[in-house]
A = this chain, B = another copy of it.
Amino acid sequence: MIRVLVWCENKQNKTDADVIRVYPNGMHNAIADFLNKDPEIEAKTATLDDPECGLTDDVLENTDVLIWWGHIAHHEVPDEIAKKVQNRVLNGMGLIPLHSAHFSKPFKLLMGTTCDLSVPGHFKENLWCTLPGHPIAKGIPNPVELEVEEGYNEYFDIPQPDELVFIGAFEGCRLFRAGCAYHRGRGKVFYFQPGHETYPIYHTPFIQKIITNAVKWASNK
């Protein structure tokens, strides 16, 4: 059984009507719910509201893959907790930062770069696979079409991925390295761009499939 923890800052989930309409139980629960349909996965959740962000030593030690969604409250995660997450990844835990978690502290610590990007607007996105034999791409059509998503655009200041699995193409001749796989220490990291909070991205079957694949790839089980 792969033990997944879906972490969410859980801010806009509580205050933004557009987010609540799409994710009435919060994004983290939406993600945990589809993961829990897989018989190999047991997903729980934690948020910034929990003591120690819900990321105690004991919780981290018993997590195989940590999924991270944050956006407006990255700075509220204490540095020492971000470092604990970094160290746990180096010791073998998988980490899957989603969307605006490109700016989350653990991801930035693990990349060593600014992880900056530009946000030109909201557009149709085609998610193209550039590594079709990769386990994260298994069973996924090429491209995956997203009717509307927040556009992220290069230059994305990350190290070259060990495996660049997806690149997103947005209307207006824009693009973004959208699925980036890394080995870091004994752990693995998969950054995945789709998932703006006001669109039903995590309700989309192929996006769910990609995240489920990524959990299995990132797990050392």
Contact = CB atoms under 8 A, between A and B. Distances in A.
Interface string A146-162: 00000001111101101
A108 to B, nearest CB: 8
Copies in the complex: 4
A77 to B, nearest CB: 17
Chain A interface residue number, banded: 35 or more
Interface in A158-192: 159-160, 162-164, 167, 169-175, 177, 182-188
A62 interface: no
A64 interface: no
Contacts of A131: 160, 183
B155 A142 contact: yes
A94 to B, nearest CB: 9
Contact of A162 (B129, B160, B172): B160
Contacts of A153: 128
Interface of A: 86, 90, 92, 109-114, 124-126, 128-134, 138, 142-143, 145, 153-157, 159-160, 162-164, 167, 169-175, 177, 182-188, 220
Given A129-B154, A169-B170, 17 more contacts: A86-B112, A92-B133, A113-B184, A124-B173, A128-B153, A128-B155, A130-B156, A133-B183, A133-B185, A133-B220, A138-B220, A154-B167, A159-B182, A160-B163, A167-B177, A169-B175, A171-B171
